[in-house]
Amino acid sequence: MSEGLILRVEDNGKGIPKEERQRVLDPFYRILGSEQQGSGLGLAIAAEIVKHYDGTLVLKDSEKFKTGLLIEIWLPYRS
């Protein structure tokens, strides 16, 4: 990975199962039974913005909390 900026957002919620992490980046996709409000667009929009700037967005297990999600975004420096 070349030089760039890393943004990390982490929470202590329920997290997202590994097998669902790619799907939640699809517009309007919602995990069945999650009982969460929303349209299923937030992560999809974030992923498209990151892609537009040639970056990467990765969903991981929380590193600080027993449960939760870590979203790691890398954006390359532009000259």
pLDDT in tens, 33-74: 666 676 778 899 999 999 999 999 999 999 999 999 999 999
* Length, in residues, of the chain: 79
Higher pLDDT among residues 29 and 34, named by residue: 29
Does the predicted TM-score (pTM) go above 0.85?
Answer: no
Supply the pLDDT for residue 31.
Answer: 76
CA distances from 49 to 13, 20, 29, 45, 68 (A): 24, 20, 18, 6, 23
